Amino acid sequence: MTFFTEAKALHSFGVAKLMYKIALEKRDHQYAHDMYLLGLIHDLGYAETNSMLEHPIKGGEVLKEKGYKYWKEVYNHGRADSKYESDELDLLNFADLRINAFGEIVSFEDRLRDIGVRYGIHSPQYIEAGIIIENIKHKFSIPSEKED
């Protein structure tokens, strides 16, 4: 049984492309490529659980076992209670919350509204996403959205 649906694949592809774009502005191609791969596999945990709260842990554990360099980013993404800090985790959370379920770039507000519709505005999913957005929203910008 897998919960990694076609929509999850579209979302992951969108996150990968956005992470690549932002990373390339900051660092070299190799790093941007690493961030692309991180975006592609960040929701791997949905292969085993349908829970928004559990999937980072499931995915992170699988990738830790395989010796994947950024398993901690997968393990801690989308979790406001996480004590782990890294630029890569912030970038993953940023992209994750700017890409909707169809892989399109949307505003933080639209993404949060969608989470509210799906899980309820009193759900831990909604509350945690709101906290993460506040923490990372000014840390990155999308190259195509930059004012000149």
User: Which residues sit at the interface with Fe ion, rule CB under 5 A?
Assistant: 43
- Single out the residue of 87, 77, 38, 37 nearest to residue 54, CA to CA: 77
Closest chain position to Fe ion (CB): 43
Q: How far is the CB of 77 from Fe ion (least distance, A)?
A: 6
Rounded Cα distance between 87 and 112, Å, is 22
User: Of the two residues 43 and 73, which places its CB atom closer to Fe ion in the complex?
Assistant: 43
Q: How far is the CB of 34 from Fe ion (least distance, A)?
A: 18
Q: How far is the CB of 19 from Fe ion (least distance, A)?
A: 13
User: Of the two residues 43 and 88, which places its CB atom closer to Fe ion in the complex?
Assistant: 43
User: Of the two residues 34 and 43, which places its CB atom closer to Fe ion in the complex?
Assistant: 43
Q: How far is the CB of 43 from Fe ion (least distance, A)?
A: 4
Crossing angle, helix 108-119 and helix 124-136, to 10 degrees? Answer: 170
* Token pair for 109: 């507000």
* Token pair for 77: 């993404």
Which amino acid is residue 135, in one-letter code?
Answer: N
